[in-house]
Amino acid sequence: MNSRKVIRIAWEGLNRNKLRSLLTMLGVIIGVAAVIIMVAVSAGTEATIAEQIQGLGTNLVFIQESFTRMTPGQRQTGNGLTFEDADAIKENIPGISGVVVEQNASETVKYGGQSIDDVSVLGTTIDFPEVRDMTIAEGRYFTQTELDRKSKVAVLGATLAEELFGSNTAIGQVITVGSVKLTVIGVMEEKGSTGGVDYNSNVFTPITVVFAKFNRDPFARMMGNRVRMIYVAVENEEDIEDTIYQIELLLAKRHEVTLDTLDFTVTTQDDIIETQESTTAAFRNLLGWVAGVSLLVGGIGIMNIMLVSVTERTREIGIRQSIGATPSDIRRQFLTEALLLSLVGGLIGVISGIAGAKIFGAVGDMRTVVSISSVIIAFSSAAAVGIFFGYFPANKAAQLDPIEALRHE
C-alpha cells in the first residue's frame, strides 16, 4: 500500500467524524498558537528594550559608580564620579566625540499666567545633543562658556515649548523655573521616547546651573559635584574596547585606585542589551515551556480520542483485517490519522498564532514579533506529539484479533 493511499484512507476516517476531529485538533491548535503568541510577545518586548537602549545614542559607553569593590570595613575613598572626571575624560582621551553628564531636578515652570508643575529639569553638558542624537529645531544649545559661567539659559523640549508659547517664538523669552529666571535660547526637535524617558517635556540647562540653583533630592545634594553616570560617545565602534581601557586607567589614577579595585564600572550598550536579553530570554523560555505543556495536553487529547476511535471502530478494523490488511497496514492507518490531526491542527495553530500575535500587537499596547523559529518549533512539536501519542492507540488497533474484532458490535 503506498503512502498516498494510506493518507487517503486516514483522511476519510477523520472526515467521517468531522466534529470530533475538529475538537481533537483544538488542543493542538491552542498549544501551537500559544507557543507562537507567547514567544512573539516576549520577542517584541525584547526588541523594544534593545531599541530603547540603542536609542540613547550610538557607540555609547556608560561609566557608573560602583560600590562592589569595597571590602568590609573599608570606606568609600575619594569623591566617586564627579563632574570633573567627565572634563578630564574629554580633555585626555582621544577618539571620543562627546562626554555628557546629567543631573536631574524637578521644578515648577511659569511663564505669563501659566504654571506647570513637576517639570523635569535636566542639567547637561554641551555634547548632550550630539551624544543623544537630538537636534535643535530653533535657536541653539548652550556653549562651554555658558556652562562655565553658570549662565541662566534654557533649551526647551518640543512639547513644553508648545505648551508655554503655542505658535509664538520661544527664543529670547524669560521663563521662571523654580525661583530662577532662565532665558530660552533654543527649542529641541520632537523626539520619540528613548530609554523609557520622554525628553519632549524637559527643560535643558547647563549642569552647573542645576548644581548651583535647583532643589535636588537630599541624597544628590549630599553628593556635591558627584554624578551618577557619565556618558561617553566614541567616534569609531572598533575603538570602544581601547577607549574603555583608557578611561579605566585615567579614572583609576584620578581616584587613586588600582585596576583591580576600581570604584566604578564601564559598560557599553551591548553589555546592557545583553543583560536585558538574558533576562527576557529566561522569561521567554518560561512562556515557551508553559505553551509547550499545553501542546502536550493537546497530544494527550489526541491519544484519548484515538483510543476511543480504535474501540469504536473495532469492527471496521476487523473488516479490513479480513480482507487482507496486515497489522502494519492498520497501525499505519491510525498513526496517519493521529499525524494528520496534529499536522492539520498545527497548521491551523500556526495561522491563528500568527494572526493572534498580529492582533495583540495591533489592539493591545504591546509589540509582538513573530519569529520563524518559534513557528517551526511549534509546528514540528505538534507533529512529534501526533506521532508520539498516536503510536500507542495505533499499535493497539494493529494487535486486535480479527475474529474478536469482527464479532465486536
Partner 1 sequence: MTQKPIIQIENLTKIYGVGDIQVKALENVTMTVHEGEFVAIMGPSGSGKSTLMNILGCLDRPSEGKYRLAGEDVSEMDKIQLAIIRNQKIGFIFQSYNLLPRTTALENVMLPMVYNRGNDIPDDEQRQRALKALEQVGLAERVNHQPQELSGGQCQRVAIARALVNKPVLILADEPTGNLDTKSSVEIMSILTKLHEEGKTIVMVTHENDIASYSQRIIRFRDGQIDTDKPNGHKPMLQMKKEVDHELS
Site string for partner 1, 386-405 (x = CB under 8 A): ----------------xx--
When asked if residue 2 is in the footprint of partner 1 (CB under 8 A), the reply is: yes
- Are 299 and 290 a contacting pair, CB within 8 Å? no
- Coil, strand or helix at 233: strand
When asked if residue 23 is in the footprint of partner 1 (CB under 8 A), the reply is: no
* CB of 13 or CB of 349, closer to partner 1: 13
When asked if residue 3 is in the footprint of partner 1 (CB under 8 A), the reply is: no
Give the other-Cβ count within 10 Å of 14's Cβ. 20
Which of these ranges, 8-16, 91-99, 232-240, 357-365, lies near partner 1 under the rule CB under 8 A? 8-16
**Torsion over CA: 172, 97, 211, 151 (sign):** negative
When asked if residue 5 is in the footprint of partner 1 (CB under 8 A), the reply is: yes
Which of these ranges, 55-63, 64-72, 315-323, 339-347, lies near partner 1 under the rule CB under 8 A? 315-323
When asked if residue 408 is in the footprint of partner 1 (CB under 8 A), the reply is: no
95, 224, 327, 364: which one binds partner 1 (CB under 8 A):
327
Residue-by-residue DSSP string for 31-77: HHHHHHHHHHHHHHHHHHHHHHHHHT-SSEEEEEE--TTPPTTPPPP
| Residues 6+ away with beta carbon under 8 Å from 362 | none
Q: How far is CA 193 from CA 21, 159, 228, 377, in A?
A: 49, 12, 21, 35
How near is the Cβ of 9 to partner 1 at its closest, in Å? 7
Q: What is the largest CA-CA distance in the chain?
A: 104
Cell numbers standing for residue 210:
542645576
* CB of 316 or CB of 337, closer to partner 1: 316
Which of these ranges, 134-142, 246-254, 280-288, 326-334, lies near partner 1 under the rule CB under 8 A? 326-334
Which of these ranges, 27-35, 284-292, 314-322, 360-368, lies near partner 1 under the rule CB under 8 A? 314-322
* CB of 5 or CB of 181, closer to partner 1: 5
Q: Which long-range contacts (CB under 8 A, 24 or more apart) does 348-352 make?
A: 348/25, 348/29, 349/28, 349/29, 349/30, 349/31, 349/32, 349/33, 349/36, 349/378, 349/379, 349/382, 350/32, 350/33, 350/36, 350/375, 350/378, 350/379, 352/29, 352/33
Angle between helices 372-398 and 269-312 (to 10 degrees): 20
Residue-by-residue DSSP string for 102-129: -EEEEEEEEETTEEEEEEEEEEE-TTHH
When asked if residue 323 is in the footprint of partner 1 (CB under 8 A), the reply is: yes
Q: How many residues bind partner 1 (CB under 8 A)?
A: 23
When asked if residue 235 is in the footprint of partner 1 (CB under 8 A), the reply is: no
When asked if residue 19 is in the footprint of partner 1 (CB under 8 A), the reply is: no
322, 359, 376, 380: which one binds partner 1 (CB under 8 A):
322
- Are 318 and 397 a contacting pair, CB within 8 Å? no
How near is the Cβ of 331 to partner 1 at its closest, in Å? 12
Which of these ranges, 95-103, 180-188, 322-330, 387-395, lies near partner 1 under the rule CB under 8 A? 322-330
How near is the Cβ of 357 to partner 1 at its closest, in Å? 39
Give the other-Cβ count within 10 Å of 361's Cβ. 17
328, 359, 364, 376: which one binds partner 1 (CB under 8 A):
328
How near is the Cβ of 364 to partner 1 at its closest, in Å? 45
When asked if residue 329 is in the footprint of partner 1 (CB under 8 A), the reply is: yes
- Using CB atoms within 10 Å of the CB of residue 216, give its burial: 0 to 12 exposed, 13 to 18 middle, 19+ buried: middle
- Are 186 and 136 a contacting pair, CB within 8 Å? yes
How near is the Cβ of 356 to partner 1 at its closest, in Å? 35
* CB of 221 or CB of 407, closer to partner 1: 407
* CB of 91 or CB of 409, closer to partner 1: 409
How near is the Cβ of 389 to partner 1 at its closest, in Å? 25
| Residues 6+ away with beta carbon under 8 Å from 2 | none
213, 255, 320, 332: which one binds partner 1 (CB under 8 A):
320
Q: Which residues pair with 107 in a beta bridge?
A: 119
How near is the Cβ of 345 to partner 1 at its closest, in Å? 23
Write out the binding residues for partner 1, residues 96-115 only, by CB under 8 A.
none
When asked if residue 162 is in the footprint of partner 1 (CB under 8 A), the reply is: no
Residue 166 gets the label, from left (phi > 0), alpha (psi -120 to 50) or beta, of left
Binding site for partner 1 (CB under 8 A): 1-2, 5, 9, 12, 16, 315-316, 318-329, 402-403, 406
